[in-house]
């Protein structure tokens, strides 16, 4: 495909940009105004049945309508449109902190003030200047020589928006009472009306044992190997993924359903993870978003530009709709280990993640009113604003977990990283919001793993954690590629095998203690 481009200018007061070349409700991802220069691919155009010719932007998969052959209307043209000098000022809203400048250029000595997030400013509709570095500048309506950057025509980064902000307040709403088998009662769970604390394991690959393109060395029977070991330890909760990048939705749905039926047979429950921020178990089609460290999602493409609406939300919607009534579901999880990448997280980054979490959790709840919902975060430090003075992680965490359709807190940590210390604020957030917390991932790495695991169980359960899940369980006869050779629990990896039985016995002991307490 040719990479040649052409510049069109918006010729109408406001133009909607869409995630797909069609006009329908909910299919708007951005807003451009008269005079905006849009760089589109010269050889990409699509004609739809209603007469519209669509063009795709060169730097994204966003589409805009160029003209309508049925009635002759043109929305874009190669010439800069004439602007009515007497037109009313346009109101724009800051997506983050934006500098005010004396001249339309970015320079260290050219800052005369700032506009903070969500605040509005009025700019002259008729005055727009494009600088050599790609920034589109707007002149303030009520000041003689003050300019502000609206967006960058090259990178697509937008600082101001014509859409009023969507505010997620500190108290985002009353949490509805979920009436499924698993419910929340303060900081504890109830299962079929009785207090429920548990140990469990991560088997992220559990639905995919029959897929050789996912697990080339596994067989379908290995699923039973894993669940038999969990049953023998008294474990009741499995955390597993509903997706893999190489498995289509159509193929994944029956695999998930079959696995949920198997778990029901074992009298176990599943935390169903609906995406992955890194690794391989993410929604198919999202390849272009996983371009950061370790394959992490890019914050601009995925959260700021709402790339999650492209594949993730439709996948989520289909999975939840298919299994919303299944009794083996403990909870739906938005995704595994979302984080703001690249770091550090700015306040604007954290705000768009909050909007993402609300959009996803609200969609789940609208389909399924009977199962719980959680985030899957390592801890809130991975999405909260960085630690500059004036930025309050605890306040942000209360807003995130105060969302009306998020039901409990998650943390992940290992013996060989510092995330346990970074998860202590989340323990306090759970206390302040009077909601449960689960240690979703834990793995010991030292030479006294059972003893270390015992101390972590003692600390976190005694401080209010309702569940504790082992990472990297592999109870198969030989290595089938599903465990973790450094942090896992198996009988074959050199660093793990001596610790398998003592850790097995420990979890069996603790499952009895939690059941009887």
Give the tens place of pLDDT for each residue, 450-462: 999 999 999 999 9
In the chain, pLDDT over 90 holds for what percent of residues?
65
The stretch 141-165 carries a mean pLDDT of 79
> How would you classify the pairing of strands 14-17 and 30-33?
antiparallel
* C-alpha Rg value of the chain to the nearest Å: 26
Phi, psi of 77 (to 5 degrees): -150, 160
The average confidence (pLDDT) of the chain is 90
What are 259's two structure tokens?
A: 């696995």
Q: What is the pLDDT of residue 226?
A: 97
What are 424's two structure tokens?
A: 């202590």
Distance CA 95, CA 120 (A): 10
> Which of 1-10, 17-26, 94-103, 446-455 comes out lowest in average pLDDT?
1-10
Q: What is the pLDDT of residue 86?
A: 60
Helix (H, G, I), strand (E, B) or coil at 351: helix
Architecture of domain 5-77: Roll (2.30)
Q: Where are the domains of the chain?
A: 5-77, 90-161, 192-516
Q: What is the pLDDT of residue 161?
A: 81
Instruction: Report the helix count and the strand count for the chain, using DSSP H and E.
Output: 9, 27
What are the residues whose beta carbons fall under 8 Å from the beta carbon of 224, sequence distance 6 or more?
none
- The CATH number fitting domain 90-161, selected from 2.70.98, 1.20.1630, 2.30.30, 3.30.160: 2.30.30
**Helical ranges in 63-169 per DSSP H:** none
Let me know if the fold of 90-161 is the same as that of 192-516: no
Q: Is the pLDDT of residue 356 over 90?
A: yes
More confident residue, 95 or 112: 112
More confident residue, 373 or 109: 373
Q: Is the pLDDT of residue 340 over 50?
A: yes
258-302 confidence digits (pLDDT tens): 999 999 999 999 999 999 999 999 999 999 999 998 899 999 999
Phi, psi of 426 (to 5 degrees): -70, -35
What are 8's two structure tokens?
A: 């069109």
Helix (H, G, I), strand (E, B) or coil at 349: helix
The stretch 381-407 carries a mean pLDDT of 86
More confident residue, 340 or 91: 340
- The CATH number fitting domain 192-516, selected from 3.40.50.2300, 3.30.70.3270, 3.40.710.10, 3.20.20.80: 3.20.20.80
Q: Taking a C-beta distance cutoff of 8 angstroms, is the pair 445, 488 a contact? A: no
In the chain, pLDDT over 70 holds for what percent of residues?
94
Helix (H, G, I), strand (E, B) or coil at 312: helix
> How would you classify the pairing of strands 237-241 and 269-273?
parallel
- Cβ burial, residue 64 (10 Å; 0-12/13-18/19+): buried
> Which of 110-119, 258-267, 438-447, 498-507 comes out lowest in average pLDDT?
110-119
Give the closest residue to 503 by CA, choosing from 488, 485, 492, 481. Answer: 488
Residues β-bridged to residue 128 = 138
The stretch 235-258 carries a mean pLDDT of 97
For residue 259, the surrounding DSSP H or E stretch is: helix 249-265
- Please, how many CA atoms are within 13 Å of residue 200, restricted to the half-sphere of its CB? 25
What are the residues whose beta carbons fall under 8 Å from the beta carbon of 6, sequence distance 6 or more?
39, 40, 42, 78
Q: What is the pLDDT of residue 67?
A: 93
Q: What is the pLDDT of residue 172?
A: 47
What are 490's two structure tokens?
A: 């198996």
100-134 confidence digits (pLDDT tens): 999 888 888 888 888 888 888 999 877 777 776 77
Q: What is the pLDDT of residue 158?
A: 80
What are 438's two structure tokens?
A: 């689960």
What are the residues whose beta carbons fall under 8 Å from the beta carbon of 26, sequence distance 6 or more?
none
């Amino acid at each position: 495909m040719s990479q040649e481009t052409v510049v069109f200018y918006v010729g109408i007061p406001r133009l909607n940009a869409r995630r797909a070349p069609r006009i329908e409700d909910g299919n708007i991802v951005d807003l451009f105004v008269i005079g905006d220069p849009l760089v589109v691919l010269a050889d990409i155009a699509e004609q739809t049945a209603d007469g519209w010719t669509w063009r795709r932007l060169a730097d994204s998969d966003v589409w805009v309508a160029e003209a309508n052959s049925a009635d002759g209307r043109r929305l874009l043209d190669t010439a800069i449109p004439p602007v009515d000098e007497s037109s009313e000022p346009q109101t724009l809203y800051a997506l983050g902190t934006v500098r005010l400048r004396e001249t339309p250029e970015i320079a260290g000595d050219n800052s005369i003030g700032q506009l903070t997030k969500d605040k509005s400013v009025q700019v002259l509709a008729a005055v727009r200047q494009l600088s050599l570095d790609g920034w589109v500048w707007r002149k303030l309506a009520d000041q003689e020589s003050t300019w502000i950057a609206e967006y960058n025509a090259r990178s697509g980064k937008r600082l101001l928006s014509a859409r009023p902000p969507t505010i997620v307040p500190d108290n985002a709403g009353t949490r509805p009472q979920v009436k499924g088998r698993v419910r929340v009662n303060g900081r504890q769970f109830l299962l079929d009306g009785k207090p429920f604390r548990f140990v469990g394991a991560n088997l992220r690959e559990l639905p995919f044992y029959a897929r050789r393109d996912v697990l080339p060395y596994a067989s379908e029977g290995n699923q039973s190997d894993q669940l038999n070991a969990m049953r023998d330890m008294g474990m009741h909760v499995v955390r597993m993924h509903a997706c893999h990048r190489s498995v289509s939705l159509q193929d994944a749905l029956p695999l998930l359903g079959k696995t949920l039926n198997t778990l029901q047979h074992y009298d176990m429950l599943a935390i169903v993870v609906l995406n992955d921020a890194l690794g391989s178990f993410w929604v198919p089609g999202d390849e272009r978003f996983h371009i950061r460290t370790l394959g992490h999602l890019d914050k601009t493409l995925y959260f700021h530009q709402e790339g999650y609406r492209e594949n993730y939300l439709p996948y989520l919607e289909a999975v939840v709709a298919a299994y919303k009534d299944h009794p083996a579901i403990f909870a739906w999880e938005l995704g595994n280990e979302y984080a703001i990448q690249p770091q550090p997280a700015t306040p604007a980054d954290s705000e768009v993640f909050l909007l993402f979490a609300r959009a996803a959790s609200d969609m789940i709840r609208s389909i399924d009113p009977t199962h719980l919902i959680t985030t899957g975060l390592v801890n809130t430090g991975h999405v909260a604003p960085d630690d500059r003075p004036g930025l309050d992680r605890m306040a942000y965490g209360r807003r995130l977990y105060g969302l009306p359709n998020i039901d409990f807190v998650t943390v992940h940590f290992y013996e060989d990283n510092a995330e346990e210390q970074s998860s202590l604020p989340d323990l306090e957030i759970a206390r302040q919001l009077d909601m449960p917390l689960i240690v979703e991932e834990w793995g010991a790495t030292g030479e006294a793993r059972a003893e270390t695991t015992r101390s972590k169980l003692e600390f976190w359960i005694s401080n209010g954690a309702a569940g504790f899940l082992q990472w990297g369980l592999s109870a198969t006869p030989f290595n089938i590629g599903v465990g973790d050779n450094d942090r896992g629990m198996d009988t074959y990896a050199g660093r793990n095998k001596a610790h398998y039985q003592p850790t097995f016995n420990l979890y069996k002991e603790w499952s009895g203690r939690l059941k009887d307490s």
